[in-house]
Amino acid sequence: MKRDFLRLWDLRTEEISYLIERAIQLKQGVDSQKCPLIGRSVGLLFEKPSTRTRVSFEVGVYQLGGQAVYMTPSEIQLGRGESIPDTARVLSRYLDAIVIRTFQHQRLQEFAQHSQVPVINGLSDLHHPCQVLADLMTIVEQKGGLEGVRVAYIGDGNNVANSLLEAAGRMGFTLTLACPEGYEPSAEVLDEVREGSGEIMILRDPREAAARADVLYTDVWVSMGQEAEAEKKRERFRAYQLNSALLGCAKTDAIVMHCLPAHRGEEITDDVIDGPQSVVFDQAENRLHAQKALLEWLLGG
């Protein structure tokens, strides 16, 4: 039976732990000659532009011995009115897995419903599970594990925040989110994950959220597709900038994370993202290793 990866909540705790451990092994070169995707092809169907997701998946598929096929809707008949079910059925006949980067999460769910091969969420408006899988790997590398770790997310309750909520629910770490009123994470996701093992809090004061944090995490204030409300959001989020003063509220050995791209001078300052406590570019690199572990797990068995 095929497995999809549309959200972190799709996986059990032990499965996430395995993927983190395997990603670290792959990064260290364990089984570097193993090519579990020889003869396999992975489609990359992207409705949004991408740097890290596209390149890390293309390189990861290649390093595992497979072939990546990149597509945009305008390059296939989906852009001319072919239905999602028909597109999913046809691509399933050619490909062994499909990574989709889209706007509406419902489009991803509909595609997966009609696909005969695994579908991976490369980003949707509701979830960004591949990013947060790499984030968990980064925290384990830097902190030695997730048990007892306090993560503070500062900013917009977007798809990354939703996936971090699911990660905390599954993996048991403490997650505190500081968001302006009206910009909280999905209430539906929050209700689900409160039944998990992590301690989750949503606050208004970013300084209170950052206090005693082991990890300070932020993301852009204006995501793709939200450009019309850019000025309004920048005004509402002005007090939520991750700067040296906010970093000073956290533990002295706290690490700084950002999923990129960064709008320097808005949600994060240059001195913080380029500073000694930043692991932002290790975090970006780990997209490659975490996704290789995911592809191997889904297809290499």
Is 259 one of the annotated active-site residues of the chain?
A: yes
Is 179 one of the annotated active-site residues of the chain?
A: no
Annotated catalytic residue, options 96, 131, 289, 291:
131
Who's near 228: CB < 8 A, 6+ residues apart? Answer: none
Torsion of CA 296, 36, 117, 164, to 10 degrees: 10
Is 263 one of the annotated active-site residues of the chain?
A: no
Cα 84 to Cα 96: distance, rounded to the nearest angstrom: 17
Q: In what order do the strands lie in the sheet with 174-178?
A: 200-203, 174-178, 150-154, 215-218, 255-258
Is 63 one of the annotated active-site residues of the chain?
A: no
Annotated catalytic residue, options 101, 105, 150, 289:
101
Annotated catalytic residue, options 259, 283, 289, 291:
259
Annotated catalytic residue, options 52, 128, 170, 289:
128
Give the three-state DSSP class for 255. Answer: strand
Q: State how far the alpha carbon of 95 is from the alpha carbons of 8, 39, 240, 301, in Å.
A: 23, 10, 43, 16
Contact 234, 256 (CB under 8 A): no
Is 287 one of the annotated active-site residues of the chain?
A: yes
Is 194 one of the annotated active-site residues of the chain?
A: no
What's phi and psi for 57, nearest 5 deg?
-70, -45
Annotated catalytic residue, options 40, 150, 170, 287:
287
Annotated catalytic residue, options 219, 258, 289, 291:
219
Residues with a catalytic annotation lie at 101, 128, 131, 219, 259, 287
